[in-house]
Amino acid sequence: MKPLNYHDLLDAFAETGCPVCRLLKADGDRFLDLLFHENIMDVGVQQSVRAARLLCSTHAWQMITFRGRAQDIAVLCEAVLDELIARVDTSTQIVPGLRLPFAQPRSNGAADALEPTQPCMCCAHIDRMEKNYIQTIATYFGEPDMQEAYRVSEGLCLPHFRLLLRALRDPMLVKTAIEVQIHLWQLLKDELTLFLHRTSPNNVDEPFGAEADSWRRAIMQLAGDEVVFGLRRGEDKS
């Protein structure tokens, strides 16, 4: 029996952009929505938010897109500030052997106390979902439906394509995946070439077609979605 995300992936391949990024963005939205609706006062959630020093920058700012949640955001921020104040206060020590006013707090100890001790909750959730999506693509990549969905899509973004190559075990499937992705990259490159031609001073009167936003789609393909690959998720994963 195929996993539930199998059909989600097939549907996402039919949309624009990287299908894994598209699904992960929705997963992140659902996670934050659930956090606001059900878990904001949960002791375990509060502890995780405190340990993570809120959320990563990307997901912390994403919270403001949820209208009517200012009070919930304030609750989380208050908890984190309470944690920081307590941590830095207990870590601040006077260097022994020095007399005031020359004594200074141990700056390294205070800085270390302010470091997060857990990852961003939303990033951790996205990491788990990402592994599931990539594994599903790899597991069923030998089936016609999955390969056809891939062929007619815009392909995976570069970070997710690297993950797929590492997840594939059959050398022939690796070869197929590379051939398909190169073909999709070539189509995008051709659109960029046409875009540059259209924007040349000698061709300003030529109308734009589908290539008009090719430069935006190229960023998505090369860097991945900005919400999915935030500051803490930007490193490639083996």
Question: Hey, where are the domains in the chain?
Answer: 4-223
Q: How far is CA 181 from CA 22, 160, 202, in A?
A: 18, 12, 33
The number of residues in the chain equals 238
User: How far is Cα 20 from Cα 154, in angstroms, rounded to an integer?
Assistant: 12
Q: Please give the pLDDT value at position 238.
A: 46
pTM (predicted TM-score): 0.85
Q: Please give the pLDDT value at position 94.
A: 52
Query: How confident is the chain (238 residues) per 10-residue block, as mean pLDDT?
Result: 96 97 96 88 91 94 93 94 88 54 60 92 95 98 97 97 98 98 97 92 80 94 90 51
User: How far is Cα 120 from Cα 77, in angstroms, rounded to an integer?
Assistant: 14
